[in-house]
Each structure stands twice: as structure tokens, then as C-alpha cells.
Amino acid sequence: MEPASIFAQIQQFANRADPYSLYAELRRTPVARQEDGSYVVSTYEEIVALLHDPRVSSDRRNLADAPPSEGLPPSFITTDPPEHDRLRRLAMRHFGPPHSPRKVESLRGELLEIVTGLIDGIADRTEADIVDDVAYPFPVTVICRLLGVPVEDEPRFHQWADEIVETLGPGEDDREERLKRREATVVTLGQYLGELAEDHRKNPGDDLLSGLVTDDGPDGSMSHLEVISTAALLLIAGHETTVNLITNGMLTLLRNPWLIERLRQEPDLIIHTVEELLRYEPPVHFLSQRVALDDITIADVTIPKGSPIVLALASGSRDPAHLRDPDRFDPDRPYIQHLGFGGGVHHCFGAPLARLEAQIALRELAHRLVNPRLVTDPPPYRPSSTLRGPRHLLIAYDRVL
């Protein structure tokens, strides 16, 4: 089978529950040209090289056939240095309080309180949906609080966030149509955040949005539109990624009951468990926004200037040339290296927060649910092959401690 058709198969919804055997086929051609002229890179070493290569741009405006953008200016995830660095630094100053791993640590008590409340909420039943009852509301509540977005408004932008990510990355439907839908939703979300930013300018609080609109530090300040793009980026990232890490994590725990038992005996094992999950069942499978700024030769293939590049992170993290027995979930690996948070200048901004959220949620679920089991395996998946995770995860249990 030609590599191009393997990548197309990965996009098919029928393969959402297990794309990993297809990734193994994909890796036979580490840099594979697709029919549409894009290049899919699927091996660990090559992905790492391109993540750190300044000739690889994250700015879609560099595409040979760049689509016109009528919405917001690009956020820092889709810009290159030096613009990227200025915006990321400005946001980092205010990702308050958690703009460093140590400060994220100070949120521990608040995070545990939110998770405890959510698990208490399923204590009067013996069945729950891990997604709707815990894994979605938890990170959403956290990102809303950090940003200064009223959590009561959540149902309004929940749908917008879903729409924006469902239209991300390669898909089975018409690309033009998807881009148009995405653009319209971005405009609606932008209007909402624009009004909110104005409110925070008049009445600043102790939150990220207030920090962004009132900042006047060494890097100057963000323009009104840059604030909106940044807030939208953080809101979407906070909505659409950690939910999958917690849900994929619970699925993996329930498929490996020995792990739940060990977590009860050794609570600190949760740190390596979450790291191994980011390798084995990561929330982000592809980065598909990259563009070659020059001819780039890698693994004996020359990617011509202007070509779109897709980095298959989830495949790279299971590359047998990089680690032994990659298809086995093993939190005892001495050295867990993965591409779950990307790498290079765009390495995930929210990684310390996402790690802590997943550690607390999974540790509490493992400790408090008595005799938990899966109701359906495999669970129903969300449409996206890029941000991959179950839409629902129905579980049964005897009681909650």
C-alpha cells in the first residue's frame, strides 16, 4: 500500500479507536509525500529535527496557496520568531498565577477542590460519563478562572471551541468549506472576547485577561486584537486538550486494572503514569500547520520550499527506533521521552498546568472509585484525528469513597 493512502486511512473515522497499527505502516516511509503536495513526517528523530529547524515555519501565511484570513490576527502558536517570542513572553508574564512550574504548584489545592467536587457529584450513582462528569468540566473551570472568563458563559463558547478544533488539521471533508466555517466561528468568539477584554480594562481583576489589557512591561503591550487572539488560543487549548489526556488516561487505567491497584499503593506513580500517557495515548496526534521556508532535505527526501508539513507526533512517540517495546504501556520506563507537548519554540505553554490537572484527576479517580469498569470498549470517539479522544467514556462502579 502507498504511504499516501495510509495517511488518508488514518483520517477515516473508522480508524479512530486504533490508529497505531497504521502509524507503524506510515513509519516505513519517514517522510512521505501526499497527493496534495504535503509531507507527512512520522519518525521520532526526523520530527524532533523539524520541530527545532528555523526553516520550518508555523505561520500559514507562508504557504504557497495561503488562504486569505478575515478573522483575527494569528495567535502565537501560528507565528514565527521574533513575533512569536514577543507575544509568548507577554502572555507568559500574566499566565498568573501559574506562569512557572513552581507557581502552577500553588494551584494544587484549588485544583483538588474542583476535582473533589466533581467526583462527589457522581457519588449518588453507580454509572458515570468520565468526559461529561469530570474530564471536561475540570480543565474548563480552571482555564475560565485563570483567564477571567465567567464560567456561566461556558455553554456559549463550548460549542465555538469544539467547532474550531474539529476544523483543525487534515480531515475527510472539503478543506475550503472547513476553513470558512472555522473563520466564521473565530469571528464570533473574537467578538465575545473583545467585549470581555473591554470590561476587564475598565475593571481589572487578578486574572490573565486583565493582565494582558493593562500590561505596560519591557515588551510594550499587546494590541486589542492580539489580546483577543491570545485569549482565544488559551481558552481553546484549555478546553480541548487536557480533557483528552484525562479521558485517554482513565481508559488506559481501566484496560489495565493492575495500574489502578498500583496507583492506590504508590500515589507518586501518577507522575510517570501521566508522562507515559502523553507518549502512549497523547491528546495531540498531528501538527499540521507547518510550512517549509526553504528546500529541506531530511531522511533522503527533499521537501520543496512552500510545502505544507505534517508532524505525526503520536507516531513519533511510538517509534521503535527511539524506544523499546513502544506499544506497551509502561510507567516504569527509566526514561520517558515523548512528543506529547511538541518541542522547540512552540513547546506547549500550558504543559505544567496540564500535567498537574491530569495527575490530580487520575489519582483521585483511581483512589475513590470502588471496582470501576468500562461499560463500552472501545468508547465512541470525537471526530478529530488531530485532537483525538473519546466523546464519552461510560463507566460503572460499586460506590465512591
Binding positions for ligand HEM, rule: CB under 6 A: 58, 76-77, 88, 143, 233-234, 237-238, 241-242, 245, 282-284, 287, 289, 340-342, 346, 348-350, 353-354
Distance of closest approach, residue 195 Cβ to ligand HEM, in angstroms: 21
Q: How many residues does the chain have?
A: 401
Tell me the chain's radius of gyration from C-alpha atoms.
21
Distance of closest approach, residue 219 Cβ to ligand HEM, in angstroms: 15
Distance of closest approach, residue 299 Cβ to ligand HEM, in angstroms: 20
Per-residue burial over 274-285, b = 16 or more CB atoms within 10 Å of its CB, e = otherwise: bbbbbbbbbbbb
Closer residue to ligand HEM (CB): 123 or 215: 215
**What is the rounded distance in angstroms from the CA atom of residue 245 to the CA atom of residue 390?**
10
Distance of closest approach, residue 332 Cβ to ligand HEM, in angstroms: 21
Distance of closest approach, residue 91 Cβ to ligand HEM, in angstroms: 7
Distance of closest approach, residue 78 Cβ to ligand HEM, in angstroms: 8
Amino acid code (one letter) for 137: P
Closer residue to ligand HEM (CB): 76 or 280: 76
Q: What is the dihedral of CA 297, 301, 305, 308, to 10 degrees?
A: -120
**What is the rounded distance in angstroms from the CA atom of residue 123 to the CA atom of residue 220?**
50
Q: 373 - beta bridge partners? A: 396
Closer residue to ligand HEM (CB): 87 or 269: 87
For the chain, the maximum distance between any two Cα atoms, rounded to a whole number of angstroms, is 61
**What is the rounded distance in angstroms from the CA atom of residue 226 to the CA atom of residue 178?**
24
Closer residue to ligand HEM (CB): 25 or 59: 59
Distance of closest approach, residue 389 Cβ to ligand HEM, in angstroms: 10
Distance of closest approach, residue 54 Cβ to ligand HEM, in angstroms: 14
Amino acid code (one letter) for 363: R
Name the strand (E) or helix (H) holding 291: strand 287-292
Closer residue to ligand HEM (CB): 209 or 400: 209
What is the grid cell recorded at 106?
Answer: 500553588
Distance of closest approach, residue 18 Cβ to ligand HEM, in angstroms: 19
**What is the rounded distance in angstroms from the CA atom of residue 255 to the CA atom of residue 43?**
27
Distance of closest approach, residue 5 Cβ to ligand HEM, in angstroms: 26
**What is the rounded distance in angstroms from the CA atom of residue 297 to the CA atom of residue 392?**
42
DSSP one-letter string for 315-334? HHTT-TTTSSSTTS--TT-S
Closer residue to ligand HEM (CB): 354 or 365: 354
Closer residue to ligand HEM (CB): 30 or 283: 283
Closer residue to ligand HEM (CB): 134 or 287: 287
Residue nearest ligand HEM (C-beta atom): 350
Distance of closest approach, residue 238 Cβ to ligand HEM, in angstroms: 4
Secondary structure class of 1 (helix, strand, coil)? coil
Closer residue to ligand HEM (CB): 90 or 287: 287
**What is the rounded distance in angstroms from the CA atom of residue 167 to the CA atom of residue 221?**
31
> Torsions phi, psi of 394, nearest 5?
-85, 130
Closer residue to ligand HEM (CB): 94 or 400: 94
Beta-carbon count within 10 A of 108 CB: 12
CA 35 vs. chain centroid, Å, equals 27
CA 279 vs. chain centroid, Å, equals 13
Per-residue burial over 1-19, b = 16 or more CB atoms within 10 Å of its CB, e = otherwise: eebbebbeebbeeeebeeb
Closer residue to ligand HEM (CB): 82 or 401: 82
Question: Is the C-alpha dihedral spanning 222, 224, 229, 232 positive or negative?
Answer: positive
